[in-house]
Copies of this chain bind each other. A is one copy, B any other.
Amino acid sequence: MFSSTADAQAGKALTAAVITISDSCASGKREDLSGPAVAQFLQELRFEVTVRETVPDDPTKIQNLLIRLAREVQLIVTSGGTGIAARDFTPEATVAVCERLLDGVGECMRAEGTKKTPLAGLSRGVCGVRGRALILNLPGSPSGALESLKAVAALIPHAIELLSGKTEHKH
C-alpha cells in the first residue's frame, strides 16, 4: 500500500538514538538499566542504534539534545521523565520541539500498559515529528519502557517510512 523508501529498498537499517533522561543516572547515582534494554530491543527490530546519551531532567538540555539528534537519526527514543513528579519534564520538552504530535501513539502505549497496571494511565509520554525524525517518549522503569515500546513497535517503522519517503496512497 505504501511505496518503500530508497533506504528500505537498499536494505539499509533505520537509524535510532536512545536517550536516558534521569537526574540520578546522569549523575552516576543510579545505573541506567532502561537505556540498554531499549537499545537492544530496537536492534532486534533491525534499527541501527547510532547514539546513546544520558541527560539530567533539565528541560533546556533535553530540548537541545532532541533538536540536534533530529538532524542525525530517524528515530529518537527517550526513557524517563514522563511521570508527574516535579522534575518530570520530558513530555513538555518533546512537545516544544515537535512540529506535529501523534496522539494515538501515547494512547496506544497507555491502553496496552493499563492491561498490566492501572498506573500506566499516569504516564504522560508523547510521540511527535520533528523534520523527518520521529520522537517517542517511554517511561523510566525498564519494564515500563520495554512494554510501552513493544505496544507501538508495529507502528514505528511505518511512521518513519512515511516521514522519509513518498506515499503511493495516504491512509
Contacts and interface: CB of A to CB of B under 8 A. Distances in A.
A-B CB proximity, top 6 nearest: A104-B121, A118-B154, A104-B110, A140-B170, A108-B121, A83-B171
Give this chain's copy count. 3
Q: Contact size class for A?
A: 35 or more
Contacts of A159: 84, 122
12 contacts: A83-B170, A85-B162, A85-B170, A100-B124, A101-B124, A104-B121, A105-B121, A107-B110, A122-B171, A123-B171, A139-B171, A144-B171
Contacts of A81: 170
A43 interface: no
A96 interface: no
